Structure formats: C-alpha cells, structure tokens
Amino acid sequence: MKALTKILLPVLAAFVLSGCLKDKMTRTYTIFTPVYKNKQDVLREVSSKPARSIGTPGKIYVYGNYLFVNEINKGVHVIDNSNPSNPVNKSFINIPGNLDIAVKGNTLFADLYRDMIALDISNPLAAHITSTSENVFPDRNSNSLVYFAIDTSTYLVDWIKKDTTVPYSDVFECSGCLAFNTAATSSASPIAGIAGSMSRFSVVNNYLYAVNINSLKSFDINNPASPVKVNDMPLRMGLETIYPFADKLFIGSTEGMFIYDISNPVSPHYLSGFSHARVCDPVITDGDYAYVTLRASTACGTAIKSQLNIIDIKQMNMPKLVGQYDMSNPYGLGKDGSLLWICDGRAGLKMYDATDPGAIKLKKTVAGIEPYDVIPYNGKLIVSAKEGIIQYDYSQPGQMTELSRLKKN
Amino acid sequence: MLKKILMIAGVCFSLSATAQKTVYRSYNYIGVLAGESKPGYQMLTTHGLQLGTYFVGVGGGFDTYKEESFPVFVSAAKYLSRGKNDFFLNANAGTVFVSKHRPANWLGATTSETRPGLFGEMGLAYRLQLHAMKSGQGVLFGMYYSYKAYKEKLTTPMFCISPPCPNQYESLNFYLHRWAFKVGFVL
C-alpha cells in the first residue's frame, strides 16, 4: 500500500501541477498595407522609353510583325518580330500596373491598375494616351479577395508587407487568410491581333471585350483612340480568361468554361457552360473542341489534381467532355492544326498530337523552362516563360527548333 | 623524453583505470505527459555509459503530446548517492521531429511542412533495485519538466490576376510545456 502511494503520488502531482504550465502557440503571418499614388502622377509616367531587356514577362500579343510582351506591372515591350530568329526589341512603353494588352490598328489597349487606357502607338517611340476608361478592373483595388474602397483620384499601386506574430489558438485556425491593414490561338480565325490563352482582353472586329473577376465588359472601338463602354454584364465570380472564336467568346473561370454568342457584339448572349471543380483555367478552341487546362491551386479552388480537359463543342449548347489528361501545373495553351501545346509550369512545355482528342499523344517536352503562355502562329511558336521570350519553329513534323531567346535580365 | 613517456603512460593508466569503472547502461521509460493541452504519452530509450555516479548517453523515442513526434537527444544523469536504491537528477536536450500528415489543402494551404524544434527535459528520478536484478539495474520512477517546440510552415498561393502568383507563407509556432511522469527500467 505504501509503495502504491509512492507511485501514485507523483502521478497525482503531475496532473495537479499541469495547470501551472501553459502551452504557447503563435502564428506568424504577413500584414499587407496598401500604398496609394496620385492618379495624375501615375498617368504622367505613361510614356515610351528606349528598349530595355525583359525582366518578368507576362502576357504576349502578336500583331502583324510585332510582338508585344507585357512586363508584369511595368509596361509593354514592343518587339519587331519580322525575323523570329532575330527579334529586335524596339521600345518599352512604360505603363504602371499593366498586366493585359490588345492591339487594333495603331491603338494599344492596356490596363493601368483599375483603369483601361488606349494608346496611340503609330510611333512606338512616342506612344501617348488617347483615352482612359475608368474602373474597368475594380478588382485591382484588392489584394486577393478583400476590396478597398479608394479615392478615385488615387491608384492602389503597391503593398507594404510586414511580418507579425500573434498568439494563436487551435480554435481559430485561419491559415491562408490574408490580413489587411485597413487604414489560341486563333490560328483558325485571326481577328485584330493574336492574344495568348491567358489574356483577359479580346478584340473582335470593332469591339473590345474584357473580363474582370466578375463581369464581361464590351467596348465599341470603331474609333480605337476612344473606346466607348457599351455593356457591362455581371457574371459569376472567378472569371479569368477570354478567348474569341468566330462569333463566340470562350470564357475561362475558376468554376468552368462559358460560351457566349457575340453575333450581336454589343450584347453577348450566354450559350452554354461546362462546369468543373474549382481550379484556375484558361480555355482555347478550334471550333470543334475546347481545350481547358485546370490548374489545381488553392488560390483558385480546392481541387488537388491538375488536368487538361477536352470538351466536344460541335453542339455549342451541349458541351461534352471527351478527354481528361493529368498535368503537373498547367497555365496557358495553344493549338495549331493537330498540334496542341501546354505550358505545364516547371514540367516544361509539352507538345501533343491532338488528332484524336480522346487520346492525345505527347510528342515532345521542352524541359528546363517554366512557360506561362504560348502563341502558335504560322509555324512559329512564341512562348512567354520565366526565362524570357522564347521562339520555336514547329514547321517540321514532330520537331521544335529554338529560333531565338530574349532572355530576362 | 623520459618525462613525456611517463606522462603518456600515466594518462594511459588513468584511462585504463577509468574504463574499468565505465558500465554500459540502457534507460527505458514510458511516461504520461500532462500540460495545458490534451495529455499525451511518451516512450524514450537512452543508451550510454555510466561512470561512478555519472551517466551520459544518447536517446530517442516517441512523444504524442499535441502532435506525434520523435525526439532525439543527449542525456546526462547524476546519482545523488551510491546505493541500491538511489535518486538521480536527469536532463535530456536535443531536437524533435514532428510527424504531421495534413490532408491536402488543409485550411487552404497547398503545403504544410513541419520543422524540427527544441526538445528538453529535466527531472528527478528514483532507481529501485529489485531482488532479481544486478547492481546498477532497477525499476525507475521519475518526474520531469518537459519542453517540446516545433514550427509548421504553411504555403498558400495568393490569388493574382496575372499568374504565376506568388506564394504566401505563414508559420504556426508551438512551444509546449508539460510535466512528465515516467516509469521504466535501467539495464
């Protein structure tokens, strides 16, 4: 009995004393504080500059012999691509906050933070603003999903990041929360120019279509220098990309692909949709099939598997899935004839024979690059990659020969 | 020269004499861990050499308090007397590897990665030599203050209009204090 007491006493003591000990749990995260800049000061920064080397390439746009490359949040490189083996960087148009571009005639349409500007680029060395459309991309007033109501005389131009540590409780697990300081390639149908599949701008005849996170906006650009907003259709949340084909618009969103009829260009009319798990997805089409890359990422949804989906759209009002292929981390894609290219992130650039959409065959993988978007055009492939702008010749069956590389600095 | 040889011989003799007193020991415990969080369990084994009233060794084991984890540590002990049944002070210090398998997309994070942290214990134990046991062997009872710390790094891609989107990093830091009551045996 005495021995038992000796043993049990410390156990009892341990449990009684356990109340004296407190676990400490902390959570370290980043606080984002918005930085504003006077709107007129920002607009004054829009100007042509001498050509400069590519830093962080974003979206690409082909117009005639010119290649326009977005430098993320900084502007547009104007590249004379008459000879894809030797592209010549002609100039850089400084456009703060720029992510998307489209061109018609001598007019370049570009987003500038939440606004859209039209620039006369008849002389790329002296581009100038001809008009400004306000608040076309209100989502640029946000970081992630939290919006800031800001003064219309300012732009939200940056965020100051600061790490902070606070007590953490298992009950309130809020990882992934952000904290804010509230103080195709249309090889089949080239229209104005050719945008990559990741584009949010599309020029179809005399209309410019733009998507922001939850709406489709139509602009009359009969006079490109002064676009006039003619429609602003609220759609579902999560719109990402826009791709024109004939008199249809294919819209990629985090929830699916939507087809809109633009035979009446002022009022796009919903035709059909194809839903999938919540993922990030650009879409292209060749008229018979739509090709959608689904990038599993929690920034877009909860799906955990990245895929390429091929959807039969011969009956536009009844899209039907015909093929699903596992991918690594796909972004943009492009198609020319039976060849299909997928920018599969770190897994490289993949070229498929898509003669049979139900059983596409991998023909070639270009490893060692991290491609983001692609435009196949006249046997030449223009790739926007982390490494810069790379061009390939794919005119020889099964071959991709590197022609040139504008390396990032 | 002769002086040097004598010195080396002296050191060798001394080491030889010391080696004769050095005994291999294995301390093995199971324990209950009580703190602010839900109680956990612990199994530790330590192996080393005992020299007189001192013991040094290395150990490892399993610890379920808050998260399943695997401590690896060095251990030192000092017996307070020389007898069959003795109290001894014991301290362990090292690192702890947390085995955490979060489901994919747990709390919105793409990846969840745990990083090793500090592990430390200090306590008083009692060795009770039972009749059938040899000298130095015995049943153990101990009470310890025990500390375990680790970090969990969560990576979440941020939504952005123009991917590739940057990642957001967040870390959860755990500093756990508990009492450990242990029973075991030494061989």
How far does CA A386 lie from the centroid of its chain?
14
Q: Are residues B182 and A22 in contact, defined by beta-carbon separation less than 8 angstroms?
A: no
Q: Decide if A369 contacts A407 (C-beta within 8 A).
A: no
Of B161, B162, B181, the CB nearest to A11: B181
Count of CB atoms situated within 10 Å of the CB of A408? 15
How far is Cα A210 from Cα A219, in angstroms, rounded to an integer? 8
The pLDDT > 70 percentage for chain B reads 78
pLDDT at B21: 76
Residues in chain B within 8 Å Cβ distance of A144: 158-159
A39 within a domain of the structure (yes/no): yes
pLDDT in tens, A146-172: 555 566 788 888 878 788 888 876 544
Nearest-angstrom CA–CA distance, A153 and B17: 87
User: How near does any CA of chain B get to the CA of A356, in Å?
Assistant: 30
Respond yes or no on whether the N-terminal peptide bond of residue B164 is cis (omega within 30° of 0): yes
What residue numbers bound the domain in which A101 lies? Answer: 27-183
Unique residue bearing structure tokens 């590249």: A79
A32: confidence class by pLDDT, cuts 50, 70, 90? confident
Check whether B109 has a pLDDT greater than 60: no
Q: Look up residue A92 and give its amino acid.
A: F
SS3 state of residue B1: coil
Is B178 within 8 Å of chain A by CB? yes
Q: Note the pLDDT of residue A366.
A: 92
Chains A, B: CB contacts within 8 A come to: 136
Buried b (16+ CB within 10 A) or exposed e, B35-50: bbbeebebebebebeb
- Check whether A16 has a pLDDT greater than 50: yes
- Of the options 3.40.50, 1.25.40, 3.30.70, 2.40.160, the CATH number for the domain spanning B23-186: 2.40.160
**Contacts with B181 from chain A: Cβ below 8 Å:** 10-11, 14
Name, in order, each residue with C-beta under 8 angstroms of A190's C-beta and a sequence gap of 6 or more.
Answer: none
A281-324 per-position pLDDT tens digit: 788 888 899 998 887 764 555 556 788 889 999 988 888 999 88
Contacts of B36 in chain A (CB under 8 A): 18-19, 21-23
- Selecting from A99, A175, A280 the residue whose C-beta is nearest the C-beta of B154 gives A175
Q: How far apart are CA A19 and CA B35, in angstroms?
A: 7
Residue B11 has pLDDT above 70, yes or no: no
E-strand spans in A199-338? 201-204, 207-212, 215-220, 228-234, 239-245, 248-253, 256-261, 269-275, 283-285, 289-294, 307-312, 320-326, 333-336
Q: Scan for tokens 């009692």, then name that residue.
A: B126
Rounded CA gap, A383 and A349, in Å? 9
Tell me whether residue A380 is in a domain.
no
Supply the pLDDT for residue A182: 43
Q: Which of A144, A58, A124 is nearest to A331 (CA)?
A: A58
Q: How many other CB atoms are found less than 10 A from the CB of residue A265?
A: 17
User: Does A139 contact chain B (CB < 8 Å)?
Assistant: yes
C-alpha span between B139 and B131 (Å, rounded): 11
Q: How many residues does chain A have?
A: 409
| Number of domains within chain A | 1
Closest by CA position to A115, among listed A192, A207, A236, A219: A219
- Chain A residues near residue B123 by CB distance under 8 angstroms: none
Structure tokens at B156: 């979440």
Residue A45, pLDDT score: 93
Q: How far is CA A406 from each of CA A17, A55, A79, A89, A391, rounded to the nearest angstrom?
A: 68, 10, 10, 9, 9
Distance CA A195, CA A5 (A): 82
Q: What is residue B17's predicted lDDT score, i.e. its pLDDT?
A: 45
B155 Cβ under 8 Å from any chain A Cβ:
no
* B65 contacts in chain A (CB < 8 Å): none
Residues 366-385 of A with CB under 8 A from B: 370, 372
Cβ–Cβ contact A331 with B under 8 A: yes
Average pLDDT, rounded, for chain A: 82
What pLDDT shows up at residue A186?
34
Is the Cβ pair B35, A23 closer than 8 Å?
yes
Q: Do B177 and A372 touch (CB under 8 A)?
A: no
Query: Is there a domain that residue A116 lies in?
Result: yes
CATH number of the domain where residue A60 is located: 2.40.10.480
Among A116-120, A177-181, A277-281, where is mean pLDDT lowest?
A: A177-181
Specify the 3-state DSSP secondary structure of B18.
Answer: helix
The predicted model gives A215-223 an average pLDDT of 91
Check if A2 contacts B (Cβ < 8 Å). Answer: no
- Average the pLDDT over A348-375 and give the result: 92
Is there a domain that residue A277 lies in?
A: no
- Rounded mean pLDDT of chain B? 81
Dig out the tokens for A132 from the structure.
């400004």
**B63-90 pLDDT tens trace:** 999 889 999 999 999 998 887 788 999 9
* CA-to-CA separations, A58 to A61, A181, A342, A372, in angstroms, rounded: 10, 29, 16, 8
Give the side-chain half-sphere CA count within 13 A for B18: 11
The predicted structure's pLDDT at residue B5: 53
- For residue A82, is it within any domain? yes
Strand partners, B94: B73, B119
Query: What distance in Å separates the CA atoms of residue A238 and residue A254, rounded to the nearest whole number?
Result: 5
Angle at B163 between CA A267 and CA B103, to 5 degrees: 110
Lowest mean pLDDT among A144-148, A264-268, A290-294, A368-372: A144-148
Cα nearest neighbour of B103 on chain A: A304
Contact between B164 and A386 using a beta-carbon 8 Å cutoff? yes
Lowest-confidence pick of A80-84, A253-257, A328-332: A253-257
Rg of chain A taking only CA atoms, in angstroms: 25
Instruction: List the strands of the sheet with A47-50, edge to edge.
Output: A47-50, A88-94, A75-80, A66-71, A57-63, A194-195
Instruction: Compute CA distances A237 → A215, B158, B164, whole Å.
Output: 8, 16, 20
Query: If you count DSSP H runs as helices and E runs as strands, how many of each does chain B have, helices first?
Result: 1, 9
What pLDDT score was predicted for residue A193?
73
Reported as type and span, the H/E element at residue A39 is helix A39-44
Name which of B143, B159, B163 is nearest A10 (Cβ-Cβ).
B143
Whether A21 has a pLDDT exceeding 70, the answer reads yes
- Report domain extents, chain B: 23-186
A74-97: average pLDDT? 93
pLDDT of A408: 74
Is A173 a residue whose pLDDT tops 70? no
Q: Which pLDDT band, with edges at 50, 70 and 90, does A276 fall under?
A: low
pLDDT for the residue B159: 57
Which residues of A are less than 8 Å from B107 in CB distance? Answer: 173-176
Could you say which DSSP state residue A145 is in? T
Q: Name B166's Cβ contacts closer than 8 Å, sequence gap at least 6.
A: B157, B158, B160
Among the residue ranges A58-72, A229-243, B86-100, B164-178, the one predicted with the least confidence is: B164-178
Give pLDDT, residue A334: 92
Chain B nearest-CA distance from A46, in A, is 20
- CB-based contact, A153 to chain B, within 8 Å: no
A23 touches chain B (CB under 8 A): yes
pLDDT number for residue B4: 63
What integer pLDDT is reported at residue A183 of this predicted model?
Answer: 43
